[in-house]
């Protein structure tokens, strides 16, 4: 795949995924009392609601800044792995309810792969 095609695909994925995370983080933080209550209902400490909300918002913004794409994607991958575990073990509806989290995880892994430095042959 040519570098320009990789770049176009990566940017499309980055923007779409970034919008999803910016929205999710903003929703969590703008409704923080309900978010804390929900997290505590899942057996998590209340402060994790702040960490996850801020992580999603900042990670989404980081996907839009070329210097931070890989770091932002790595952080969001960790958040999505946690979300998938919660869907599989504690959230009603099971893993099927976490299909969007799985799709975001796959998209983030693809972004990481596309943004991984490649060796150029001379």
Task: Give me the mean pLDDT over the 2-23 stretch.
Answer: 95
Q: What is the CA radius of gyration of the chain?
A: 16
Q: Where does the pLDDT of residue 37 fall: very low under 50, low under 70, confident under 90, or very high at 90 and above?
A: very high
**Ramachandran angles phi, psi of 41, nearest 5°:** -65, -25
Over residues 18-35, the mean pLDDT reads 98
Residue 121 has pLDDT above 80, yes or no: no
Is pLDDT at 122 greater than 60 in this prediction? no
Of the candidates 68, 56, 55, 52, the one whose C-alpha atom is nearest the C-alpha of residue 115 is 68
Which is nearest to 22 in space by CA: 50, 64, 51?
A: 64
Distance (Å, whole) CA 53 – CA 9: 27
Name the band, by pLDDT with cuts 50, 70 and 90, for residue 85. very high
Arithmetic mean of pLDDT over the chain: 94
Is it the case that residue 19 has pLDDT exceeding 70? yes
- Residue 118, pLDDT > 80, answer no
1 versus 120: the higher-pLDDT residue is 1
Percentage of the chain with pLDDT > 70? Answer: 98
Rounded average pLDDT over 76-97: 92
Handedness of CA 75, 84, 106, 57 (dihedral sign): negative
Q: What is the mean pLDDT of residues 51-75?
A: 97
């Amino acid at each position: 795949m040519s570098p320009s095609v990789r770049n176009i695909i990566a940017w499309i994925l980055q923007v779409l995924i970034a919008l999803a995370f910016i929205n999710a983080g903003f929703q969590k933080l703008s409704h923080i009392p309900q978010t804390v209550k929900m997290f505590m209902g899942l057996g998590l400490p209340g402060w994790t609601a702040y960490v996850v909300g801020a992580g999603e918002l900042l990670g989404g913004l980081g996907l839009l800044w070329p210097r931070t794409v890989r770091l932002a994607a790595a952080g969001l991958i960790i958040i999505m792995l946690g979300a998938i575990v919660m869907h599989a073990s504690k959230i009603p509806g099971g893993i099927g309810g976490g299909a969007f989290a799985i799709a975001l995880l796959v998209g983030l892994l693809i972004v990481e792969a596309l943004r991984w430095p490649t060796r150029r042959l001379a």
